[in-house]
């Protein structure tokens, strides 16, 4: 069974440029999460989807960040414009809502460097 | 609100020595508790989890953890460290509903010397 797939793995951009990250969750997982991981810190939730509905986006900085999960499968996280402080790893995870034991399955992450 | 505190951002042990990584949590509901491991430039991998039932849980690679409600703790242990155990370890808590987001601690870096 394929795991959570993220792309790109690495991205270097200049400040004020836009950037987008893509996530394909495990097949059948209807809950999808985007986490932000700063260097030396634990992951912090940005947004959680149940199918195509964003059920928790309270930590998403909506002035520059946006996310979508069309058709309740793949998801895209966008930053526009990027700032120096956005340099971090963006992790995507999925889980089967309503079943399972609460475990989240993580992708390898997208590492963003803003110059 | 839930929270996790990991005591010690960096733990160093010798190969063959006991590994003890500390985690305390705060939760207003019966928690689900997790330990994840992260190797450099990789995503998080589940080591073990506590949901209900037996409070001593065993995970992969010889790790185990014990849920102690009275101490609000979920410390991770391994009897004998191996060089390959060097990594970042994260403790996490959730509300227990499948699909709930995990709240992570800041992590503990484990170094193993020969």
A42:B51 CB<8 A: no
Q: Which of B10, B30, B26, B34 is nearest to B71 (CA)?
A: B26
Please tell me which residue of chain B has the smallest CA distance to A109: B43
What pLDDT was estimated at residue A90? 98
DSSP A32-76: EEEEEE-TTS--EEEEEEETTEEEE-TTS-TTTEEEE-GGGS-EE
Residue B96 Cα, gap to closest chain A Cα (Å)? 6
CB contacts < 8 A, A to B, total 71
How far is B33 from B92, CA to CA, in rounded Å? 6
Evaluate the omega torsion of the peptide bond into residue A81 and state whether it is cis, within 30 degrees of 0. yes
Per-residue pLDDT of chain A (115 residues; tens, 9 = 90+): 789 999 999 999 999 999 999 999 999 898 999 999 999 899 999 999 989 999 889 999 999 999 999 888 999 999 999 999 999 999 999 998 665 567 899 999 999 999 9
B97 pLDDT band, cuts 50/70/90, is low
């Amino acid at each position: 069974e394929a795991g959570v797939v993220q792309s790109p793995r690495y991205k270097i951009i200049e400040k004020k440029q836009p950037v987008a990250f893509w996530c394909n969750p495990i097949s059948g997982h209807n809950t999808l999460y985007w986490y932000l991981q700063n260097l030396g810190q634990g992951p912090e939730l940005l947004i959680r989807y149940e199918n195509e509905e964003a059920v928790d986006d309270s930590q998403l900085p909506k002035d520059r960040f946006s996310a979508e999960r069309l058709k309740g499968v793949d998801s895209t996280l966008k930053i526009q414009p990027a700032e120096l402080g956005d340099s971090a790893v963006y992790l995507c995870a999925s889980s089967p809502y309503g079943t399972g034991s609460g475990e989240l399955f993580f992708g390898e992450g997208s590492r963003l460097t803003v110059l | 609100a839930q929270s996790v505190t990991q005591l010690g951002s960096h733990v160093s042990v010798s190969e063959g020595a006991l590994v003890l990584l500390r985690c305390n949590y705060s939760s207003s509901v019966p928690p689900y508790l997790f330990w994840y491991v992260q190797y450099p430039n990789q995503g998080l991998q589940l080591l073990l989890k506590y949901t209900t039932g037996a409070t001593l849980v065993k995970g992969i690679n010889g790790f185990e953890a014990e849920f102690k409600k009275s101490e609000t703790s979920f410390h991770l242990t391994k009897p004998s460290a191996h060089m390959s155990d060097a990594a970042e370890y994260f403790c996490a808590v959730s509300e227990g509903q499948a699909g709930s987001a995990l709240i992570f601690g800041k992590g503990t870096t484990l170094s193993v010397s020969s």
